């Protein structure tokens, strides 16, 4: 389930499911929520967070196991989600409240700014250990949004980065306690609301043009 609330000029999008996987139903609700943010009047920013132990545990592997013919259209929707966050007409912040894995880790780095829980939870790309290849879109996205050497290490080793490690590696820009991850993200987002509009949308589209092209083609 996806919940969208507004705190002044900041929209708070909360993924509230078992592991906050990017299931087909969650993707539909995410698409609707992002359309609401895009259409809203006035200055705004977006904070995305999860609930419980997970920010997001990535792709819905159970769905793919039961529906192998859906792999290509399903991945296209996930890629479109990444591209949409990259091109939002407002500042975006990921409040990583817990484990941020695989496609969930990729969703987090699509945001401008990431704040991670400092005491528990990992950011991780486990595809190498699962024997799963990265798509061309993912291969373009990851090294564009985290330092190249960090991208290399994360992709080829599947390293699990705890909060302090993720901060040192340039994956996140801030740490907070469990009780303050969301409030810290909202506070930062509130400082960026004046940036919303066609200007930042245009800057984003050009800044991330190559990545968006790969995501929408793959």
Residue 188 tokens, joined: 């930062």
User: Facing residues of 45 across strands?
Assistant: 10, 91
Name the domain count of the chain.
1
First-to-final CA distance of the chain: 27
Q: What is the Cα–Cα distance from 126 to 168, expressed in whole angstroms?
A: 20
Backbone angles phi, psi at 26, to 5 degrees: -65, -35
Domain range holding 147?
A: 2-217
Quick one: pLDDT at residue 137? 97
Q: Domain holding 212: CATH number? A: 3.90.226.10
If you ran DSSP here, which 8-state letter would residue 18 be given? S
Quick one: pLDDT at residue 130? 94
Packed helices 71-86 and 24-39: angle between N→C axes, nearest 10 degrees: 30
Mean pLDDT, range 101-109, rounded to an integer: 98
Quick one: pLDDT at residue 171? 98
Q: What is the Cα–Cα distance from 14 to 33, expressed in whole angstroms?
A: 10
Mean pLDDT, range 80-99, rounded to an integer: 97
The 10s digit of each residue's pLDDT in 134-158 is 999 999 999 999 999 999 999 999 9
Q: What is the Cα–Cα distance from 56 to 26, expressed in whole angstroms?
A: 11
Residue 177 — left, alpha, or beta (φ > 0 → left; ψ -120 to 50 → alpha)? Answer: beta
Q: Give the angle 74-46-8 at the CA atoms, nearest 5°.
A: 145
Q: What is the Cα–Cα distance from 34 to 13, expressed in whole angstroms?
A: 9
Share of the chain above pLDDT 70, in %: 99
Mean pLDDT, range 155-170, rounded to an integer: 98
What does pLDDT average to over the chain?
Answer: 95
Q: What is the Cα–Cα distance from 173 to 170, expressed in whole angstroms?
A: 7
């Amino acid at each position: 389930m996806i919940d969208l609330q507004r705190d002044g000029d900041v929209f708070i999008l909360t993924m509230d499911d078992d592991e906050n996987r990017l299931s087909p139903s969650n993707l539909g609700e995410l698409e609707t929520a992002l359309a609401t943010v895009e259409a809203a009047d006035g200055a705004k920013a977006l904070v995305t967070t999860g609930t419980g132990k997970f920010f997001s545990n990535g792709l819905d592997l159970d769905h793919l196991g039961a529906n192998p013919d859906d792999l290509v259209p399903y991945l296209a929707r996930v890629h479109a989600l990444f591209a949409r966050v990259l091109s939002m007409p407002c500042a975006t912040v990921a409040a990583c409240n817990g484990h941020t894995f695989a496609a969930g880790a990729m969703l987090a780095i699509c945001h401008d700014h990431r704040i991670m829980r400092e005491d528990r939870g990992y950011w991780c790309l486990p595809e190498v250990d699962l024997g799963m290849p990265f798509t061309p879109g993912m291969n373009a996205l990851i090294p564009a949004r985290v330092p190249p050497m960090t991208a290399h290490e994360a992709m080829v080793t599947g390293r699990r980065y705890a909060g302090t490690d993720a901060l040192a590696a340039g994956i996140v820009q801030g740490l907070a306690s469990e009780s303050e991850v969301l409030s810290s993200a909202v506070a930062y987002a509130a400082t960026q609301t004046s940036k919303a509009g066609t200007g930042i949308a245009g800057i984003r589209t050009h800044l991330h043009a190559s990545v968006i092209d790969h995501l929408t083609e793959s």
